[in-house]
Structure 1
Amino acid sequence: MHPAVLIAAALLDRILGDPPGWPHPVRLIGRGLSVLERLAPERPLARRLYGAACTLAMAGACALAVSLLVSPPLLGLAAALYFSYAGLALGCLVREARDVMGFLDAGDLPGARRAVAMLVSRETATMDEAAVRRALAETVSENLCDGFVAPLFYLTLGGPALLWAYKAVSTMDSMWGYRTPRFRELGWFSARADDVLAFVPARISALAIVASGVVLGRPARGLFGRIRIDAARSASPNAGWPMAAAAWVCGAGMGGSAIYFGQVVEKPRMGPDGKWDARVLHLLLRIVSLSGTLLISVAAFMLAVA
């Protein structure tokens, strides 16, 4: 992996994001998973083993396909740039978050609900403005890790092939990793695999958020102890780290009641009692964007000296 390819991929991500209508490997993976789900057995143990086999096979197939495509001398360089760019999703995340904030700033709550529904799995139809803002803050901070830091981590470690092995597992977790009767057994292995693969990137994400906050003049004294305590309250071993970091750095709270698949879920509280008003949400987006820049710089430097 050449640092120039990494930097070019990051720039394309910031400039282009994920243009609607363009082909994307994640959508291809999603279509494949839909077919595999229809073939899944019904018995719980067989369903769990089938889900594990599908996870390993999909990750291996994606890694092999990308490895072959990036191998030719000239076309391989273009393929490496494309697959690196397509695996990073910070530009799209920031752009979609700004769309939600635009609806909120215009006083269009129904539009904000529809826009945030594209980013979260919780139900949004009955959300008030404060709930929309909190949901946006939570998903932006969590997806900094899932959509950018973790892919960047594996891209730096093993190039586009390892990146897309991770993306395959992450996509499977996004589609199958729910604790519902439909997916509890089928998605068990992919959810656990995603937990393992995101363990280090989640903590890097929290560190990057704190570092970016310091650059922007936010205090950092005593934050890591608070972040660690709040992160431990999350049901996920990883999601709580960037969420707690964003909450404490921005000075606003996360957690509380949310509706998932018709059921009210009380999510653990993180951070202080501050509100996610327009000013604080804009601060969060600045921190997330700066976190991406800092981590790209570190990754490019590591590749250059390796």
Structure 2
Amino acid sequence: MEHPAAVFLIPALAVILDRLLGDPASWPHPVRLIGKGLDLFEAAVRRLGVNLRLAGWGAVLIFAWAAWFIVGELTAIRYLGPILAVYFAYAGLAMGCLLKEARQVARLLDSGDLPGARTALSMLVSRETAGLDAPDIRRTLAETVSENLNDGFTAPLFYLALFGPSGLWAYKTVSTMDSMWGYRTDRYIDLGQGAAKTDDVLAWIPARLTAFFLFIVGRRLGLKAATARGRYRDDARKMESPNAGYPMAAAAWLLEAQMGGPTVYFGKIKDKPVLGPVGATWDRAKLRKLFRLTAMAGVLAALVLIPVLGLIRLLFA
């Protein structure tokens, strides 16, 4: 049985390690293993001619349960288990790596290396970056950083604090599946339905908490939090995703710069809903403020979620 102190200590250590180490490319990572498993599953069901929608829903159940079970068994190993628990908890958080790479893109852009900034940005986003100019790169950075504050940090931390490393990796498995299959293209519209719908449900509460944390920190930083709170919901609801728009719209209004607009995915232009003040551009100063805002919001999320959800977990254990 897990020691009560570990309920709080393991998530806290995970947050610290995420900030200090990020995600070194040379280290093994469970997401890569999950991705390989999903590729094999996809190839098999397409080869066998299985109903893709049913296969996708089945994959959600199978892979999420497998992640929960495997991580639970590994973290229960005597002596080694606590070390593995810290590793799995840390590996499931991605804010440190995201901010490090986003700042690198910003530095390349500020130094005048537009091709280098485009290449570095392509490692962070699924959209095409080859034709982006400097304002578009800054807007794209703002979108991915604000959205992934929830997807890469708040939501995984939420399930880590509430259910431990097993819960985190069940969530991360669904999130990974959604990132690989959750596109509304001919190839994935059926296979990815289960992952997309499940991810929408699992991220619903964390996304709204993320916006709340952004407003608290924004007010502390002297940003127009009251104005942002009054306007962000209408923008957030424009998005196809019921969750992505909340942290994005909150950040857009807090920093008073537009997100959304024409964006190229897989060779096709998609008109994404406009979030924030129309026509207001992202400059160097606003981007720096965004990095600080999201970093501080992540700290606040940890300070709130770890003790509150940890207590709930202990009460119902």
TM above 0.5, one fold? yes
1:84-136 CA-partner distances (Å, limit 9, x unpaired)? 00001010010010010011110011011011111111111111111111011
1:2-57 CA-partner distances (Å, limit 9, x unpaired)? 21221111110001110012100000000111111111137998111011111110
* Partner Cα distance (1:188, 1:303) in 2: 30
Structure-2 residue corresponding to 1:216: 221
Find out whether 1:186 has 2:191 as its counterpart: yes
Find out whether 1:68 has 2:73 as its counterpart: yes
Task: Give 2:20's match in structure 1, choosing from 12, 15, 18.
Answer: 15
* Partner Cα distance (1:299, 1:72) in 2: 27
1:48-89 CA-partner distances (Å, limit 9, x unpaired)? 101111111000000000001111342111111001000010
Find out whether 1:57 has 2:37 as its counterpart: no
Find out whether 1:225 has 2:269 as its counterpart: no
1:275-301 CA-partner distances (Å, limit 9, x unpaired)? 211100000000010011111111232
Find out whether 1:302 has 2:308 as its counterpart: yes
Aligned Cα RMSD in Å?
A: 1.5
Report the Cα offset of residue 303 of structure 1: 5.3
Find out whether 1:165 has 2:162 as its counterpart: no
More off after superposition, 35-44 vs 231-240: 35-44
Does the aligned pair in 1 maintain the 2:7–2:161 contact within 8 Å?
no
**Residues 180/44 of structure 1: CA separation in 2 closer, same or farther (3 Å cut):** farther
Task: Give 2:291's match in structure 1, choosing from 262, 285, 291.
Answer: 285
Tell me the SS of whatever aligns to 2:274.
strand
Gaps of 5+ in 1: none
* Partner Cα distance (1:38, 1:116) in 2: 29
Does the aligned pair in 2 maintain the 1:63–1:164 contact within 8 Å?
yes
Percentage identity across paired residues of the two chains: 52
**Residues 69/247 of structure 1: CA separation in 2 closer, same or farther (3 Å cut):** same
- The amino acid of 1:302's aligned partner reads V
Gaps of 5+ in 2: 1-5, 313-317
Task: Give 2:153's match in structure 1, choosing from 140, 148, 154.
Answer: 148
* Partner Cα distance (1:225, 1:262) in 2: 36
More off after superposition, 32-41 vs 58-67: 32-41
Tell me the SS of whatever aligns to 1:221.
helix
Does the aligned pair in 2 maintain the 1:101–1:112 contact within 8 Å?
yes
Tell me the SS of whatever aligns to 2:46.
coil
Structure-1 residue corresponding to 2:3: none
* Partner Cα distance (1:245, 1:167) in 2: 24
* Partner Cα distance (1:262, 1:43) in 2: 29
Does the aligned pair in 1 maintain the 2:210–2:301 contact within 8 Å?
no
Report the Cα offset of residue 186 of structure 1: 0.9
Report the Cα offset of residue 252 of structure 1: 0.7
Task: Give 2:265's match in structure 1, choosing from 260, 267, 271.
Answer: 260
Tell me the SS of whatever aligns to 2:131.
coil
**Residues 281/224 of structure 1: CA separation in 2 closer, same or farther (3 Å cut):** same
More off after superposition, 222-231 vs 184-193: 222-231
**Residues 136/163 of structure 1: CA separation in 2 closer, same or farther (3 Å cut):** same
- The amino acid of 2:88's aligned partner reads F
**Residues 44/266 of structure 1: CA separation in 2 closer, same or farther (3 Å cut):** farther
Report the Cα offset of residue 137 of structure 1: 0.4
Structure-2 residue corresponding to 1:271: 276
Tell me the SS of whatever aligns to 1:267.
strand
Structure-1 residue corresponding to 2:89: 84
- The amino acid of 2:8's aligned partner reads P
- The amino acid of 1:129's aligned partner reads A
**Residues 43/224 of structure 1: CA separation in 2 closer, same or farther (3 Å cut):** farther
**Residues 129/56 of structure 1: CA separation in 2 closer, same or farther (3 Å cut):** same
